[in-house]
Amino acid sequence: MGQSRLRTAESDEAPLDKSTSSHAVATDAVGTAHRSAGADARIVCVVPSITELLFDLGLGARVVGRTGFCFHPKAAVKSVPKVGGTKDFDLEKIRALEPTHLIVNIDENPRERVESAAQFVPNVVVTHPLGPMDNVELFRLIGAIFGHRQEAEDLVGRFETAYADAVEATRGLPRERVLYVIWKNPWMTIARDTYIARTLAAVGWEQIEVEGGARYPEVDVVATLASVDRVLLSSEPYAFRPKDVAEVQAMRPAGAPKVSLIDAEMTSWYGSRAIAGMRYLSRLRSNQEL
């Protein structure tokens, strides 16, 4: 952020100097005030779901860099240079692209690497959605900074409708205790204060509490199976397959719980993907044969 200081959720540093924020149009997840960007803004985004959001807001022409995991919309992002991964994005590649803005996320991008990038990128926009309704604020944040407020409001309306429809469609179903699994060897799950868990809860799937306090803790799957109604094996970051379903089914007590695959883009990708995500979860949750 040039001369300003980057403040993360774990930091006591002050946000952007108030003297530079008198014309701010939006404030990001760590309290940094951002001015309106011109049509000549050059954006590097190291958050896959927000790269997709930028294109859906009509801002694709301003995106000059992305990670190798930013693969939506598939046809449009092919021409955008890659800068590495979400955890190990290449600082020199980003510097060479001369961005005016870098969009990051507290959960997905290492703080130290973001702070290094902030030494030469004038504007670092920090995001941190913690639940599905935070998408409303996210849409408006990006729309305000880059002058696409109406496009953002259109997405807000579509998301709010999809969310309300999903909640209503699943309201009468018995709530289920689930174990959402994201990794194998070691087996790992999610904490209940994550975006994924809150999204699942919206359709009646309650992620169980796992001891330890980590946001993405290791879990003893065998010991947990007797206490849940359903195990959901996600498609990312570990790409679970039908053979993994069979493996977990072989561990379970007779008759319970149900084990199935789930599309992680529909549970963990905030931004515009969450519109399709709520519809997907509504259909999945209502399918009692799952």
How far is Cα 265 from Cα 149, in angstroms, rounded to an integer? 25
User: Under DSSP, is residue 237 helix (H, G, I), strand (E, B) or coil?
Assistant: coil
Task: Indicate whether 5 pLDDT > 50.
Answer: no
Calculate helix-pair angle for 273-286, 149-170, nearest 10 degrees.
10
Q: Which of 22-36, 69-83, 156-170, 261-275 is predicted with the least confidence, judged by mean pLDDT? A: 22-36
Amino acid found at 236:
E
- With contact defined as beta carbons under 8 Å apart, do 258 and 273 qualify? no
**pLDDT band at 211, cuts 50/70/90?**
confident
Helices (H) and strands (E) in the chain, counts: 11, 11
Task: Indicate whether 1 pLDDT > 90.
Answer: no
**pLDDT band at 288, cuts 50/70/90?**
low
Position 252 scores a pLDDT of 81
- Kindly state the helix (H) or strand (E) to which residue 103 belongs, with its residue range: strand 101-105
Half-sphere exposure of 10 toward its Cβ, with a 13 Å CA cutoff?
6
Average pLDDT on 183-211 reads 96
pLDDT tens, position by position, 148-175: 999 999 999 999 999 999 999 999 999 9
Task: Indicate whether 84 pLDDT > 80.
Answer: yes
Higher-confidence residue: 6 or 36?
36
- With contact defined as beta carbons under 8 Å apart, do 182 and 210 qualify? no
Higher-confidence residue: 211 or 221?
221
**pLDDT band at 12, cuts 50/70/90?**
very low
Position 230 scores a pLDDT of 95
pLDDT tens, position by position, 103-122: 999 999 999 999 999 999 99
Residues ≥6 apart with Cβ < 8 Å to 154: none
- If we measure between CA atoms, which residue out of 239, 236, 238 comes closest to residue 273? 236
For the chain, percent of residues with pLDDT exceeding 90: 85
Average pLDDT, the chain: 91
- If we measure between CA atoms, which residue out of 237, 244, 229 comes closest to residue 188? 237
pLDDT tens, position by position, 27-61: 999 999 999 999 999 999 999 999 999 999 999 99
Q: Which domains does the chain have, with CATH numbers?
A: 18-153 (3.40.50.1980), 173-286 (3.40.50.1980)
Q: What is the pTM of this model?
A: 0.89
Task: Indicate whether 3 pLDDT > 50.
Answer: no
Task: Indicate whether 21 pLDDT > 90.
Answer: no
- If we measure between CA atoms, which residue out of 175, 236, 179 comes closest to residue 207? 179
Higher-confidence residue: 23 or 113?
113
Helical spans, DSSP H, in the chain: 48-56, 74-77, 91-97, 111-117, 134-145, 149-170, 195-202, 221-224, 242-251, 265-268, 273-286
Position 11 scores a pLDDT of 38
Task: Indicate whether 13 pLDDT > 60.
Answer: no
- With contact defined as beta carbons under 8 Å apart, do 241 and 227 qualify? no
